[in-house]
Amino acid sequence: MYYETSNKSPPNSKEALPSEKVNYAKMKVTSYTKQFELGGLFMGNYIVELKNISKSFPGVKALDQVSFTLKAGEVLGLLGENGAGKSTLMKILSGVYTKDVGSMKIFGKKVDHLTPITAQKSGIAIINQELNLCDHLTVAQNIFLGRELITKGVLSDKKMNEEAYKILKRFQIDIDPETMVGNLPVSKKQLVEIAKALSTQAKILIMDEPTSALTSKEIDNLFTIIKRLKEQGCGIVYISHRLEELQYIVDRVMILRDGKYITSMDFQETTLSEIISYMVGREITEKFPRVEEKIGEKIFEVRNLNAGRMVRNVCFSLYKGEILGIAGLMGAGRTETTRAIFGADPKESGQIFIDGEEVQIRRPMDAIKVGLVLVPEDRAKNGLCTKLSVKENIALPNLDIIASKLGLVNRKKEEKVTETAVKNFDIKLANAEVPADSLSGGNQQKVIVSKWLARNSKVVMFDEPTRGIDVASKVEIYNIMNDLKRKGIGVLFVSSELPEILGISDRILVMADGKITKELDVKDATQDLILEYATKFGKGMDYEEEAMKA
Amino acid sequence: MENEKKRNKLKRLLAKRGMGQVITVTIGLVGLIIVFGLLNPIFLSARNISNLLRQIAPTLLTGIGQSFVLITGNIDLSIGSVVGMSCMISATLMTKGINPWVAVIITYLASSIMGLLNGKLISKAKLPAFIATLGTMTIARGIAQIVNNNYNTDSIGEAAEGFMQFFYYGKTLGLFNTIWITMFIWLVFNFLLSRTRTGRHLYAVGSNIHAAHLSGVNISSTITKAYLVSAFCSTTVGLIITATSGMGTMDAGNSYELYAVAASVIGGVSTLGGQGILLGTVIGASIWGVLQNGLQFAGAPVAIRNIVIGVIVIITVLLDIVVRLNKKVGKAKAGAERSYFPVLKHKI
């Protein structure tokens, strides 16, 4: 406990604090020292204390009497499944939501009501899960959005560019501050977002899945930054679904489940499986359930597929009873490959065979008709009509079966198709009439898969099916894939997370620069090996073969 | 090195919000002026140019307002009605013997209320802009009709001579006052949009409202400011119309909001928000005016004029989309090479 209330005068050693805070609130980027002096004052003490916070949304109790503390110089891993209330809690701390009940103390000072602006001013910065940048503004303009630098009453882009350059350089982020954010790839955008949060000289940093789009080198860099900030007395809340990351940075973990506080412990004194069991509320015996199947005949083949720069001369085959993983860095052309195969993007050349017969795919409908379907990345954007009901979503690609020749929708058939789908995939919902976006991430993903499997599909392509969903739902998605494999349906599995690619696939293709650089049997594959080929730029596999022949 | 820096600067200028389209349409505008000049030399006479500029003024002014609103990702359908309302309020007050300048101030205040209402309905009550301004459009037109008991006003009389000179008939340094007023307003708002914090926030809100909110931008006040600017511009146009005809007309400004959208969009302002500059609006409004005026000189009947203008609006925007799509592909390629494959550079 620090001091009880704000109106009581603080202990003499911290007398200077309130005025310091005012200075600090102005967030002048030039003086970093002030921030660190302030951090030093609080080192080891609680800088955030939330007590019995509750928050309800219509129909859901998102947070139920949750208490939360954060010390200066500490990295706290805030863990829990999707919908456990992590983001809600952090949104309350950053002023996006207001709490229903409970008390908050920041830097020992009682705070009743926070808005994004006052939160920023009291030294809290959040790096959001969804990228929150303006595409039409430059990097520097984004970094200084809301606290623009003004000289003589006029915006000074020159000064902002200079300051942004300093900030980016300080954190070793290699981006030109004058580029339009809209022209940056996702991983760079994420770095801009991080730089933006750091530039506010926040003492309390909330990172919500900061690494989801970063490459391993950038992650290393981020961890170095985190360690440095920690030494300088910042308190950092770190939210991630990638539990493997925690060991590098986290001091303490706190676990939420269903909006309730479960436990909090020192990271050193626990294990990952203990953490997972607290998160899920039960033991998950197998993180990557593997099913062994006999490899059957070839069901799907792609020959010499070309589509733009990101898909160059892609060839591969897929056999019955296997899951074919495609690994690679962001921007390696994996998504583009699946989209080109599916007919969502135009192809320049290439042949596609299903069951040994060549098929012509010009648009998604052609692919669907021959039994080739795609579960796209980014559920909300490409996978679901979020405002429509679950039933309508499942019926959408199957309307040719459900509707009569005249185009009349047969309600009974629709009902039946939906019912089977919900049952087969164990989708948890009150009824099929609820809008798709009311479901949790994992259940949404199941709706997408189920809508494709309501018809007799032969090949299913999954593009990042587990991004942003919790451990338990991930396992369910793996089980669905295993199920398909058992039924003799070909599964193509694109993922950026190497552990799951290694854990689930039978064979792995590695892509880099729009080309397949290596094909590996899972028995021979290791993370290092995959990474080696994922960074093999400028050479394709056939290229290499040619070289060997010569 | 220095040279390269300069070239980079130029590149950046070109990459700036919608600059590309501004250049394309400027070329188009010059082309149109040459064609009309060849068809009928009178088109390029000093007298016609002066008139033409004065004709462009209302479209440009409403276009400035609409551009502000479009940049925030919203739309203002009430512009035409606010023009009509301002015309009727100012004229009615003047016929009642009130000092014209007092009438002008009251008119500005009255339409600010409409702007404020628009802004708050959209930013606070979260109504879709299309619906909110559709409502205020009808309300403002209703007010235009009610102020003088559903009649157009009588002549505003001799007392308003100064007012008419100021807004329409008078000249300063050889140019019509209307043109000076428009230029002044353009300069002020262009400064506001490009050089001030408010301007930056307008772009941010239109580009990504969540990001802006989380960065501490006051969304409500930003959107309201855009609608206030729009109302201010519309009022000025209403006053110009009063000064022109010397009376209040209830139908004044009919469908001006759509001409304003056309001027903005031709000039490269995106209806999706976040993109566009006021220089573009000038060019857009000029193309609009030159087409109207030029086709008239070329002897085209009104119906043909309308069809030609409609086609041109569609073609310019279509052209922009085609250009932008091509460029995007190119940019993505270039971007990819820079950002994903630093290794590549060394190897080749």
Judged by a CB distance cut-off of 8 A, whether residue B17 touches chain A is yes
CB within 8 Å: A116 and B216? yes
Mean pLDDT of chain A: 80
Least-confidence region, from A112-126, A381-395, B327-341: B327-341
| Number of domain units in chain A | 4
List chain A residues with CB under 8 Å of B5. Answer: none
The Cα-based distances of B271 to B71, B74, B243, B313, B317 in angstroms read 7, 8, 32, 14, 11
Residue A58 pLDDT > 80:
no
| Residues A16 and A119 occupy one common structural domain | yes
Closest among A286, A325, A249 to A471, alpha carbons compared: A286
CB pair distance less than 8 Å for B343 and A538: yes
Q: Give dist(CA A471, CA A488) in Å, integer.
A: 26
**B15 confidence band (pLDDT: 50, 70, 90):** low
Residue A336, burial from CB neighbour count under 10 angstroms (0-12, 13-18, 19+) = buried
Q: Do A145 and B212 touch (CB under 8 A)?
A: yes
Confidence check: pLDDT of A237 > 90:
yes
A257 vs chain B: nearest CA distance in angstroms?
A: 26
Contact call for B196 and A130, based on CB within 8 A: no
In a domain, residue A147? The reply is yes
Residue ranges of E strands in A16-162:
46-57, 60-71, 75-79, 101-106, 109-111, 124-127, 150-151, 154-155
Which band of pLDDT confidence, cut at 50, 70 and 90, is reported for residue A31?
Answer: very low
Among A166, A201, A236, residue at a domain's last position: A201
**What does the domain layout of chain B look like in residue ranges?**
22-149+161-300
A377 is a domain residue? no
% of chain B residues with pLDDT over 90? 47
Comparing B8 with A413, the larger pLDDT belongs to: A413
Instruction: Report the CATH number at residue A330.
Output: 3.40.50.300
pLDDT digits (tens, 9 = 90+) for B215-247: 878 899 999 999 999 999 999 999 999 999 999
Residues A242 and A364 in one domain: no
Mean pLDDT across the stretch A143-163? Answer: 87
- Cα–Cα distance measured from residue B305 to residue B293, given in angstroms and rounded to the nearest whole number: 10
Q: Does B6 touch chain A (CB under 8 A)?
A: no
Say yes or no for a CB contact (<8 Å) between A145 and B17.
no
Rounded distance, CA A469 to CA A212, Å? 12
Domain boundary among A392, A423, A455: A455
Question: Distance (Å, rounded) from C-alpha B255 to C-alpha B80?
Answer: 5
> Does B71 lie at the interface with A, CB-CB under 8 angstroms?
no
Q: Could you report the per-residue pLDDT of A528-548, keeping only the tens digit for each?
A: 788 778 776 544 444 444 445
Over residues A497-518, the pLDDT tens digits come to: 888 888 889 999 998 888 888 8
**pLDDT value, residue B139:** 96
If asked whether residues A4 and A55 sit together in one domain, one would say yes
Q: A180 pLDDT exceeds 50?
A: yes
**Mean pLDDT computed over every residue of chain B:** 85
Same domain for A12 and A93: yes
The band of A24, judged by pLDDT with boundaries at 50, 70 and 90, is very low
Q: Which of A30-39, B19-28, B171-180 has the highest mean pLDDT?
A: B171-180
Residue A291 falls inside a structural domain: no
CA nearest neighbour of A198 among A225, A160, A238, A165 = A225
Tell me the pLDDT tens digit for each residue of A95-144: 888 888 888 888 888 888 888 888 888 888 888 777 788 888 889 999 99
Where is average pLDDT lowest: A87-96, A277-286, A349-358, A460-469?
A277-286
Examine the domain organization and report whether A445 and A493 are in the same domain: no
In this prediction, residue B122 has a pLDDT band, given cuts at 50, 70 and 90, of very high
pLDDT tens, position by position, A316-370: 999 988 999 998 877 788 888 998 999 888 888 899 999 888 999 888 888 888 8
Instruction: Judge whether A395 and A414 are in contact, CB under 8 Å.
Output: yes
| CA end-to-end distance (rounded Å), chain B | 23
Same domain, A547 and A476: yes
Nearest to B17 among A120, A128, A136 (CB): A136
Closest CA to A467 of A489, A435, A500: A500
- Domain boundary pick from A285, A314, A347: A285
A253 and A322: one domain? no
The DSSP string of A384-440 is --TTSBHHHHHHGGGHHHHB-TTS-B-HHHHHHHHHHHHHHHT---S-TTSBGGGS-
Would the pLDDT of B333 be above 80?
A: no
The reported pLDDT for the residue numbered A4 is: 35
Same domain? For A304 and A174 the reply is no
Asked if residue A246 and residue A211 are part of one domain, the reply reads yes
Both A165 and A97 in one domain: the answer is: no
Bigger pLDDT: A119 vs B319: A119
Is residue A11 one of the residues assigned to a domain?
yes
Burial of B345 (0-12, 13-18, 19+ CB in 10 A): exposed
Residue-number span of the structural domain to which A174 is assigned: 131-201
A11 vs A387, higher pLDDT = A387
Nearest to B347 among A135, A535, A538 (CB): A538
Q: Give the residue from A232, A196, A207, A191 showing the smallest Cα distance to A77.
A: A207
Q: Which fold has domain B22-149+161-300?
A: ABC transporter involved in vitamin B12 uptake, BtuC (1.10.3470)
Residues A502 and A523 in one domain: yes
Those residues with Cβ within 8 angstroms of residue B179's Cβ, 6 or more apart along the chain or in another chain: B50, B53, B54, B57
Residue A376 lies in a domain: no
Same domain membership, residue A217 and residue A195: no
pLDDT at A178: 87
